[in-house]
Amino acid sequence: MPARSSRSTRSAVSLLRALPVAVVFAIGVMAVSPSAAVGTDGDVTWGVRTATNDTDSDRQNFDYVLDPGETLSDALVISNHDAEPLELDVYAADGFTTTSGQVDLVTRDTASVAVGKWTVLKTGHVSIPAGETVEVPFLVTVPVDETPGDYLGGILTSLPQPGQEQGIDVDRRLGIRMHLRVLGELQPGLAVENLTVEYAGTLNPFGTSDATVSYTVTNTGNVRLAAGQTVSLAGPWGALPAQVSAVVPVPELLPGESWPVRVAASKVFPAFWLTGSVVLDPELAVVAGSTPGLEPVQASTGTWAVPWPLLVLLVLLAGAVWGALILVTRRRAERARLEEARVQHAVDEALRAVAPQVEQQGAASN
């Protein structure tokens, strides 16, 4: 089973997905068979698993459903696979979802407020002879006035050592996570928050460009939820749909946790208004006890996607056409004026030509 070491003054805890037996090595990540843990060059190896109980002899983690005020007892089994005695610290801590979507636990110097606080171990330190196994009992007590819903934590074994590299402490840790549901009114809920659409734009009057849809998925209920999700982009009335890249599912989020999402789209035509739509399909964790269903969650928003280069081109073309029309109109008016002047001149010449004859006829008649 893979295990990893974290390095810091108080190393960040890495909680592996618990298998019946887990093995940790000194530095780095290695995989071994649960039945044959092998260390090299002084590596210390050990494994952890859940104790066998009457209801489930093959548990991979601790999973409880309790009423407020209820207490239960259980145990963690620790095996020393090394050829030397092993000294380990044992403690409980609250859990959370990392930015990579994995389960992790708060560091030991961070105060737990839920599972890590409610779990009391019989001992905080164990000495395990070479090749031997010890069992560490613990009690989990839910406060009487605790809010119903899902909580996450775990029990960790730790082998702290003085730092050998640049004065940094190395804390090798291995643990099993603990899911706990407090019974009561369960209200699952997901929300799409801070939804925005950004359009890059293009200088090509007839071209397309890239767009980005960004938002945050928040677990607004009191049970843990994952979700499938789809994102779409289109112009007014759904016209000119864009090619949206595949959207990875939202990992399982605890109540109050959020997950940022950023989705890219290509070949988006600037159709003046661009609408981005998000649909979440919630997935409830399989936990004993009834859980209300949750309908798909939808959200949409839009942004201007004005084809400015195309508009400028259209304005220039319209201006050219308008100018041509004005020029043609002026030329026609000028030709009409010249024709009118020519006709008027001809009339005037004709009148001047007949004017003497008219005068002679008038004199003769007098």
What does the domain layout of the chain look like in residue ranges? 6-182, 190-306, 313-366
Amino acid residing at 204: N
pLDDT at residue 17 in the model: 33
pLDDT at residue 115 in the model: 98
pLDDT at residue 297 in the model: 95
Q: What is the pTM of this model?
A: 0.74
Distances (CA, A) of 331 to 27, 221, 322, 334, 336: 90, 76, 14, 5, 8
Beta bridge mates, 209 = 268
The highest-level CATH class for domain 6-182 is mainly beta
- Distance between CA 178 and CA 289 in Å, rounded? 17
Task: Give kind and range of the element (H or E) at residue 310.
Answer: helix 308-365
Report the b/e string of 114-133 with b at 16+ CB within 10 A. bbbebbebeeeebebeeeee
pLDDT at residue 172 in the model: 85
Q: Looking at domain 190-306, does it have CATH number 3.20.20.70?
A: no
pLDDT at residue 245 in the model: 83
Name residues of the chain where pLDDT drops below 70.
1-43, 54-57, 162-170, 286-293, 358-359, 362-363, 365-366
pLDDT at residue 60 in the model: 87
